[in-house]
Every structure is written in C-alpha cells, then in structure tokens.
Copies of this chain bind each other. A is one copy, B any other.
Amino acid sequence: MQIGILGTGMVGRALAGRLHELGHSVTVGTRDPGATLARSEPDRGGGAPFRAWAAEHPQVRLATFAEAAAGAELVVNASNGHASLEVLRAAGADHLAGKVLVDAANPLDFSTGFPPTLFVKDTDSLGEQLQRTFPEVRVVKALNTLTASLMVEPQALPGESTVFVCGNDAVAKQVVTDLLVELGHTDVLDLGDITAARGTEMYLPLWLRLMGALGTGTFNIRVVR
C-alpha cells in the first residue's frame, strides 16, 4: 500500500520504518524537507536528528505534507496534537478526501509543565475535531494509547495487549484493523464511532501516571474479559 506518514518524530519514524519493512511504499511528510534534513541537533524528544534516521532508511522518501498525502492511499497523522489541524491543512483537504486517515495523535498541552493536560476532552476530542474539519476524510483513531516502539512491535511485551480503533466508516476501520494485525497486534477492539476518541484520548493522563510509576513507557493495557 502507498502510505503517507505526517510527522518526523518518534511515532512517524517507528511506523515508517516498520511499514516499509512490511513491504509498503512509505513517504514521510514534513513542512520543509530541506530544513528537516539540514537539522543536526537532537530533536525535541532528545532523539537523533531526522537525517541520521533517514540515512539508515534510504528507501523511505521524505516529502512535503502535501506530496506525502497526494501520493498515499492511507495517511497517518503522526504529528503533535496541537499541530495536527495545521498539518492536515498543509497536507490539503483535496489530497486527503476519501482516504483513510489513522489519527495517532493526542491533544496534549505542555504549556503548564508536566504532566501535560488535554486541550480538548470529555465533550469533544482531537479525533472529532479532525473529522469535523475534514468531513471527506475517513478518520480512524488508533495507536494513540501506547508508546511508539510498541505500536510496531507489540510482541516485545511479555503478554498479549489490546489496541483500539474508532471512527465513523466501517470499511476504514477494517483497513486499519488489518494494518494493526500486520504490525503484530492480536487484540484490536472496535469502540464505535469517532466520539469514542474521547475515551482513548482521556486515557492519556492514566498512561502518564503509569509511565511515572513504572519508570518506563514500555507497557500497554490488555482488556481482560
């Protein structure tokens, strides 16, 4: 499948690298590819600059948001939550129309320090904001409940864990579910329409407390039933 990944951070890199290994044709989108490749300082999360990752993944293309979206059959929003609407506008509503968009972002607000709060919650969600702003996009909220490395290698944990999908388009959810299974996920739960993104996004404060208590982000939840 032709996949466009919007965002060059940990999530974008993890998904791009693994989806390429699985045989997909992957293009990573960024605002200014030249500027992204020129940066030599560590990225915001303290990771290696993108150009070091790109050098190890020569078959993953880097392009503008618009180019990455235009050439894709499926698009992943791997941008920061507060930038997501702007990133999708840069990708272009015309380029996104009719396509499946996996929204892996969280509406985290770090403006008052750590732990972050959520800039939208409870009566609305980032997933719904994206769906409302781009009504022709088939938004599926997924993968926002676990750390990047586990998105693409869930079997690194000593036991089965659960991931979630929600969205208004049943076919789009099936496409994303199949992709999650390809990535190694064995328990994919459909939570219903896109309003269920309120649930998976509001899980983040618990996730952050768990990370603090466990001293690692390498964990996930399993729904035991």
Partner among B117, B210, B224 whose Cβ is within 8 Å of the Cβ of A220: B224
Chain A 204-222, CB within 8 Å of chain B: the 1/0 string?
0111111011101011111
Is A192's CB within 8 Å of the partner chain B? Answer: yes
Inter-chain contacts of A224 with B (CB < 8 A): 157-161, 219-222
Inter-chain contacts of A196 with B (CB < 8 A): 209, 213
Chain A 170-213, CB within 8 Å of chain B: the 1/0 string?
00000000000000000001111000101110110111111011
Inter-chain contacts of A216 with B (CB < 8 A): 225
Taking CB as reference atom, which chain B residue is nearest A116?
B122
Taking CB as reference atom, which chain B residue is nearest A157?
B224
Bound form: Cα–Cα A121–B199 in Å? 13
Bound form: Cα–Cα A62–B43 in Å? 61
Bound form: Cα–Cα A223–B160 in Å? 10
Taking CB as reference atom, which chain B residue is nearest A118?
B122
Bound form: Cα–Cα A196–B212 in Å? 10
Inter-chain contacts of A158 with B (CB < 8 A): 224-225
Inter-chain contacts of A223 with B (CB < 8 A): 210, 214, 219-221
Inter-chain contacts of A206 with B (CB < 8 A): 199-200, 202-203
Interchain CB contact under 8 A, B198 and A213 = no
Bound form: Cα–Cα A179–B208 in Å? 26
Taking CB as reference atom, which chain B residue is nearest A221?
B221
Interchain CB contact under 8 A, B205 and A214 = no
Bound form: Cα–Cα A212–B193 in Å? 11
Between A190, A213, A218, the greatest number of chain B beta carbons within 10 A of the residue's beta carbon is seen for A213
Partner among B190, B198, B207, B222 whose Cβ is within 8 Å of the Cβ of A222: B222
Bound form: Cα–Cα A121–B205 in Å? 10
Q: A190-B213, A192-B209 are in contact. List 10 more A-B contacts (CB 8 A).
A: A121-B122, A159-B222, A160-B224, A198-B205, A199-B207, A199-B208, A203-B203, A214-B225, A218-B225, A219-B223
Q: Closest 8 interchain pairs by CB?
A: A219-B225, A199-B206, A199-B209, A221-B221, A199-B205, A161-B224, A159-B224, A196-B209
